[in-house]
Every structure is written in C-alpha cells, then in structure tokens.
With several copies, the nearest count.
Chain A
Amino acid sequence: MRDIRLLTEPFYPGALIGPFTNANPGLGGVCTFVGEVRLDEGVEALELTHYEPLTLQGMQELADRAFARFKLMGLLMVHRVGQMHPGEPIVCVSAAARHRRDAIDTVDFCMDHLKSAAWFWKREKRADGWHWIEPRADDYADLARWGE
C-alpha cells in the first residue's frame, strides 16, 4: 500500500495513520514521523514552495527507492506546501513492515531525503521579513549516511 501526496491545506496526521495501518494487514510494526513547524523565537510563519512538475514525481521515485531498499509492506508520505504556522504538521511519513528495523529505517531514509534532497524550498517569516532556510550541515551529513 503506497500513498504519496502533496497537500496545500492543513492536515491531521492521526486521520491518515489509522487507515494506513489498517490497509496493511499482517504487519509487525509501523513507524511514523510527523514534522511540525517548530516554535522558534521570532518565527511567525513558514512557507514551503515546490515545483509542481518535479516534486510529486520526485517523492514517488523516493518511494520506489525505499521499496527497493527495505522490506516494506506499505509507505505513506505526505508533505505540505504553502504557508504554515507553528504547531502545524509539515510532513508525515509512515512505514509498515513485518520487522521494526525496516519500518524505522524507511522513515529515517525518507525524512533525510525529503529534508535536503526533494524539490521544496522553505522560508520563514520574522519581524524583519522572509528568510530562506537551507538544510543544516547535520541534514547533509544525515543524507550521506545512506551511501547513495
């Protein structure tokens, strides 16, 4: 079961995970990561833009690689675009597998790629206006772990 989406409106991860889990009967474990707009001092809003012809297709290709690399039963990958406020979910990745290692590693793998190797651009609004955000050095180091 594969469910890859780009959303332009707020979403509630809990409403996705129940049906996703039920759609993968026989599983041994489900790992889920939900990223939210962090409450950072002075940050009023976050905006994610994308490039429509590439972004969703890139997420599908990322899912292909996850299925090729791990023993997966199902993968849910949902990413917001548009303007968001602290506390709002940005991204939700959920992986169902027979064994926990595959479920956890898949989420780790997909998040590292969504963070610094998917077609999104992020900026945050502070009192003095909008500022573009690049991945941190840690994010690139995390990505490099997968030896691709």
Chain B
Amino acid sequence: MAVTILFLGPLRDLAGEAERQVSAPLDWAGLLDAVGPDVAGQLSGERVNVACAGKVLADKTALNAQDGEEVALLPPVSGG
C-alpha cells in the first residue's frame, strides 16, 4: 500500500500527471519532496490547500498520511 497524491485543477498541468503513488507514511516535508520543485513552490503558498483522507487540513504542514490514504492538492478554486 501507499499514499496517493492527487493534483487538482492547474496543479495537474504543473505536475504533468493527475496522481502519483508514494510510500507511506507521508508528512509535509515528504510531500514537498515528492511533488517536484514547481508544485512544491505552489504548495508553499497560502492559496493552495491540502486534503487528507477527504478532509481539508487546517494546517497543511501537519500532514501525516497513512497507508491507503489519498492526499489531494487543492489550488485556488473557480466555479459557477
């Protein structure tokens, strides 16, 4: 098992893929490492949120994803 990182919206283009599997557990430093410098740069900004296991993290730097969990990287939204 592993952690799945999901790239949503424009981050998908930046990452060049929709998702990536990495080994569990995954913390904030591990995430920044795993996504490459371009996405990591975006991720460090205030406007990108991180969800783990279907919940948006109040403090994304406290990420602690376990085996089988999904980590979604959520850039600024735009609907309607």
- CB of B9 within 8 A of CB of A79, answer no
CB distance from A10 to the nearest CB of B (A): 16
A45 at the interface (CB under 8 A from B): no
A35 at the interface (CB under 8 A from B): yes
Interface size class of B (residues with CB under 8 A): 10 to 19
Q: Which residue of B lies closest to A135 (CB)?
A: B78
B54 at the interface (CB under 8 A from A): yes
A53 at the interface (CB under 8 A from B): yes
- Looking at the complex, which one of B13, B72, B80 makes contact with A111 (CB distance below 8 Å)? B80
Specify which chain A residues have a CB less than 8 angstroms from the CB of B54 in the assembled complex. 53-54
> Beyond A119-B74, A121-B8, A121-B75, is A54–B80 a contact (Cβ under 8 Å)?
no
Q: Which residue of B lies closest to A118 (CB)?
A: B79
- CB of B78 within 8 A of CB of A116, answer yes
Query: Which residues 1-59 of B sit at the A interface, judged by CB distance below 8 A?
Result: 6, 8-10, 13, 51, 54, 56
Known: A49-B8, A120-B79, A122-B79. 8 other contacts (CB 8 A): A51-B6, A51-B74, A111-B80, A118-B79, A120-B77, A120-B80, A121-B75, A123-B10
Which 8 residue pairs of A and B lie closest in terms of their CB atoms, listed nearest first? A121-B9, A120-B79, A53-B54, A115-B80, A132-B10, A114-B80, A122-B78, A91-B80
Query: Which B residues form the contact surface with A (CB < 8 A)?
Result: 6, 8-10, 13, 51, 54, 56, 70, 72, 74-80
